[in-house]
C-alpha cells in the first residue's frame, strides 16, 4: 500500500478535523491537506517532469509544508529525501548529489546558501523556496489519483547522522514505514482524531516519522512557530493543544524539566512524550516522572530500523515497586512486536542472557539496504539481520540494556568500562546537570577515565565530592582519574553528545603539553 493512502483515507473519515497547524492556528483540515497533496503530486509529475521513483529532497526546518510535501511525493510515487536543515551546506550538497534528487524544497533562510548547487549537481533541476510563487503554483490545478506503488518501493531515503564518515542513505520502503506505523499502535501508544503530535524535534528524523501514525488516525500535526524546540514554546503549545504527543531526544527532555518555565505551567494536555535516540539517564527520568507524571515511553531504533527495535512502555515507567525498577529505567525495554532482536558475538553467534554483544534485529521495519552502497548494505544486513553497531545485553525477562557503542567503551588495565555506568553515578549528584565520560590514552593502563561535567548554574562541585560518590557506587577502577568542569558539551544536530570531539580535545591537550 502506498503510504499516501493513509492520508487519502484519513481525509475520507476525518475530513473536518485539523490536519496541520502552525503554533496555535489550524492551517488545513484533512480534506484540504489531501486536496493539496493530490494537486501537488500532479504538478510534480507534469510541470516538473518527474517520474515515479525519482527523489525529491526536503531541506527544510520544521514547517507546515513538510507534511504536504512528504505525502505529495508519495502520492505521485516519488521518494522523499528529508535532510536535516542544520547540516553544513557541504553535507547537504553531498546528500543532494548522492541521492540524485531532482528537486529540492528549501526553507527560505537556507535558499541563498544552497542556490549555487543547481548548476553544480547534474541531477538537481531546481531548488524551490517554500515561500516563493513557484511553490504556491504547485497547488493550482486538478487532483491526480494516488499512484500505485510496490510495497518495497523506496519511500524515504534516511541519511544517517553519522558522527564519523560520510552519511549513508538508509532505504526505507512503503512496507517498512507501514510496519513502523502499525507498530506504533501496538507498542507505543493509541492515537485518535482528537490528538496531535507537536513537532518540536526535527521532522527529517524521528518526529517526522511519527507524523505517519498520527495521519493514519486523523490527528493534528502541530508545527511550533520557531520551527524547533524551546521549553517555553513547548509548554505554551501543550496548554493550547489537547492530547499532545512529542518525540524528544533525551537532551530536550532534560532542558524541559530544568526549565524555570515548567513551574506553574499547565501540562494537563500532555498525553505522551516518546523519547529515544540517545541514552536517557535514570536520575533525569525519575525527575521527569516526578514533574510530569506517567507520560513517557522510551524507544530504541535507528535510521536503518526506523523508531522500532525495542520499547520501554509507559507501564514499566509506572511500575515503581518493581525490584529492578532502576535497571529497567536504564534499559531500552523489550523487543517490538514485529521485530526479532538478538545479541551476537563477533562471529554472529547468538549470546546468552547477560552477555554483552552487538544488537541485531530483523523484521518488516528493517531497511532494504543503503542507497548505492552494496558493500555497506551487505555488511549491515549479513545473514538477514540488521547489525545495529550498538552493544547490549538482555536480562532474563527480555529487557535489553545498551552498553556504549564499542568505540566509546574504555579499556583500562584490561578491564572494560562502560561510560554510561559512570555517567549514571555522577548524575546522582543533584548539582550535576550533564556529564560525558570518555577514555584518554594512558601509557600503563591503555586508557584512563576522564569525566566532562556540566554543573548547574551557580553550583560549586569539586572533583573530591564526585570521587566520593563514585567510591560509594562503582568499582574503584571505573572512577574518573580526571574531571573537567565545562559549561556545555559538544552535541550534534540531534542532540547527541559528540564523544569523538571530547576525545580529540584530550588528544590535542596532550600534543600541546
- The residues binding ligand AMP (CB under 6 A) are 160-161, 276-279, 298, 300-303, 332, 388, 390, 402, 405
Nearer to ligand AMP, 17 or 205 (CB): 205
C-beta of 57 vs 361, nearer to ligand AMP: 361
CA distance 174 to 4: 9
Output 29 or 404, the one with its CB closest to ligand AMP. Answer: 404
161 or 377: whose CB is closer to ligand AMP? 161
CB 250 to ligand AMP: min, Å: 8
In the bound state with ligand AMP, the residue whose beta carbon lies nearer, of 390 and 447, is 390
Estimate the crossing angle of helix 30-46 against helix 4-13, to 10 degrees: 140
Smaller CB distance to ligand AMP: residue 158 or 241?
Answer: 158
**Nearest distance in Å: CB 185, ligand AMP:** 19
User: From the CB of 394, what's the least distance to ligand AMP, in Å?
Assistant: 15
What's the closest the beta carbon of residue 465 comes to ligand AMP, in angstroms?
28
**Closest approach of ligand AMP to the CB of residue 301, in Å:** 6
* Residue 296, strand partner residues: 273
Cβ 231 to ligand AMP shortest distance, Å: 21
CA–CA distance, 57 with 101 (Å, rounded to integer): 6
Q: Which residue, 19 or 356, has its beta carbon nearer to ligand AMP?
A: 356
Helix axes 250-257, 282-292, angle to 10 degrees: 50
Minimum CB separation of residue 405 from ligand AMP in Å reads 6
Q: Cα 266 to the chain's mean position, in Å?
A: 27
Contact 395, 327 (CB under 8 A): yes
Asked if 20 and 27 touch (Cβ cutoff 8 Å), the reply is yes
Say how many C-beta atoms besides its own lie within 10 A of residue 37's C-beta. Answer: 28
Question: Would you say 64 or 392 has its CB closer to ligand AMP?
Answer: 392
Residue 385 burial (10 A CB sphere; 0-12, 13-18, 19+): buried
Q: How far is the CB of 120 from ligand AMP (least distance, A)?
A: 27
Q: Closest CB to ligand AMP among 326 and 442?
A: 326
Q: What's 443's DSSP letter?
A: T
Residue in the block written with cell 494537563: 268
Maximum CA extent, the chain:
73
* In the complex, least distance from residue 75 CB atom to ligand AMP, rounded to whole angstroms: 26
CA distances from 96 to 83, 249, 495 (A): 9, 26, 23
Residues ≥6 apart with Cβ < 8 Å to 256: 231, 234, 235, 248, 262, 288
Closest-CA residue to 153 (of 244, 77, 68, 241): 77
Q: Smallest distance from the beta carbon of 277 to ligand AMP, in angstroms?
A: 5
| Integer angstrom CA distances of residue 261 from 230, 250, 270, 417, 430 | 10, 18, 15, 38, 19
Q: Which of 50, 63, 57, 40 is nearest to 137 (CA)?
A: 40
Q: Of 43 and 310, which has the nearer Cβ to ligand AMP?
A: 310
**Cell numbers of 337, please?**
512486536
As measured in angstroms, the least distance from the Cβ of 279 to ligand AMP is 4
Instruction: Say how far apart CA 259 and CA 409 lie, in whole Å.
Output: 32
Closest to ligand AMP by CB, 224 or 279: 279
Amino acid at each position: 500500500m502506498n503510504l499516501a493512502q493513509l492520508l487519502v483515507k484519513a481525509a475520507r473519515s476525518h475530513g473536518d478535523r485539523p490536519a496541520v497547524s502552525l503554533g496555535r492556528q489550524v492551517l488545513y483540515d484533512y480534506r484540504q491537506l489531501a486536496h493539496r497533496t493530490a494537486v501537488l503530486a500532479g504538478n510534480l509529475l507534469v510541470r516538473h517532469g518527474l517520474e515515479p521513483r525519482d527523489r525529491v529532497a526536503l531541506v527544510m526546518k520544521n514547517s507546515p509544508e513538510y507534511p504536504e510535501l512528504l505525502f505529495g511525493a508519495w502520492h505521485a510515487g516519488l521518494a522523499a529525501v528529508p535532510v536535516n536543515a542544520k547540516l553544513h551546506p557541504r553535507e547537504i550538497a553531498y546528500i543532494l548529489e548522492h541521492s540524485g534528487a531532482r528537486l529540492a524544497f528549501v526553507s527560505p533562510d537556507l535558499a541563498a546558501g544552497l542556490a549555487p548547487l543547481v548548476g553544480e549537481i547534474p541531477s538537481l533541476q531546481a531548488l524551490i523556496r517554500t515561500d516563493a510563487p513557484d511553490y504556491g503554483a504547485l497547488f493550482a490545478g486538478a487532483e491526480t489519483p494516488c499512484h500505485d506503488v510496490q510495497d518495497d518501493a523506496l519511500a524515504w531515503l534516511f541519511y544517517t547522522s553519522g558522527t564519523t564518515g560520510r552519511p549513508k542513505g538508509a532505504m526505507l520502503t512503503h512496507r517498512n514505514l507501514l510496519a513502523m506505523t502499525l507498530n506504533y499502535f501496538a507498542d507505543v501508544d493509541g492515537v485518535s482524531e482528537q490528538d496531535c503530535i507537536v513537532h518540536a524535534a526535527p521532522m527529517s528524523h524521528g518526529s517526522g516519522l511519527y507524523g505517519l501514525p498520527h495521519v493514519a488516525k486523523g490527528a493534528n500535526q502541530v508545527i511550533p512557530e520557531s520551527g524547533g524546540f524551546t521549553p517555553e514554546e513547548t509548554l505554551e503549545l501543550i496548554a493550547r493543544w489537547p492530547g499532545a504527543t512529542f518525540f524528544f531526544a533525551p537532551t530536550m527532555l532534560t532542558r524541559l524539566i530544568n526549565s524555570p518555565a515548567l513551574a506553574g505551567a499547565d501540562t494537563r494536555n500532555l498525553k505522551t512524550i516518546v523519547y529515544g535516540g540517545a541514552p536517557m539517564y535514570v536520575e533525569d527520568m525519575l525527575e521527569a516522572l516526578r514533574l510530569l507524571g506517567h507520560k513517557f515511553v522510551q524507544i530504541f531504533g535507528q535510521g536503518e530500523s526506523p523508531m522500532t527495535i525495542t520499547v520501554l512502555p509507559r507501564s514499566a515507567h509506572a511500575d515503581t515497586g518493581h525490584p529492578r525498577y532502576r535497571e529497567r529505567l536504564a534499559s531500552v525495554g523489550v523487543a517490538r512486536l514485529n521485530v526479532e532482536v538478538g545479541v551476537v558475538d563477533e562471529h554472529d553467534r547468538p549470546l546468552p542472557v547477560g552477555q554483552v554483544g552487538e544488537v541485531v534485529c530483523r523484521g518488516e521495519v528493517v531497511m532494504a539496504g543503503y542507497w548505492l552502497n552494496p558493500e555497506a548494505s551487505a555488511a549491515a544486513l549479513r545473514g538477514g539481520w540488521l547489525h545495529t553497531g550498538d552493544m547490549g545485553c538482555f536480562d532474563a525477562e527480555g529487557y535489553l540494556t545498551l552498553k556504549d557503542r564499542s568505540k566509546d567503551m574504555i579499556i583500562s588495565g584490561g578491564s572494560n568500562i562502560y561510560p554510561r555506568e559512570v555517567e549514571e553515578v555522577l548524575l546522582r549528584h543533584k548539582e550535576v546537570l550533564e556529564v560525558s565520560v570518555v577514555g584518554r590514552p594512558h601509557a600503563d593502563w591503555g586508557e584512563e577515565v576522564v569525566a566532562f561535567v556540566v554543573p548547574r548554574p551557580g553550583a560549586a562541585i569539586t572533583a573530591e565530592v564526585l570521587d566520593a560518590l563514585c567510591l560509594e557506587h562503582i568499582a574503584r577502577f571505573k572512577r574518573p582519574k580526571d574531571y573537567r568542569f565545562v559549561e556545555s558539551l559538544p552535541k550534534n544536530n540531534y542532540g547527541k553528545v559528540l564523544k569523538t570531539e571530547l576525545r580529540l580535545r584530550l588528544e590535542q591537550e596532550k600534543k600541546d603539553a
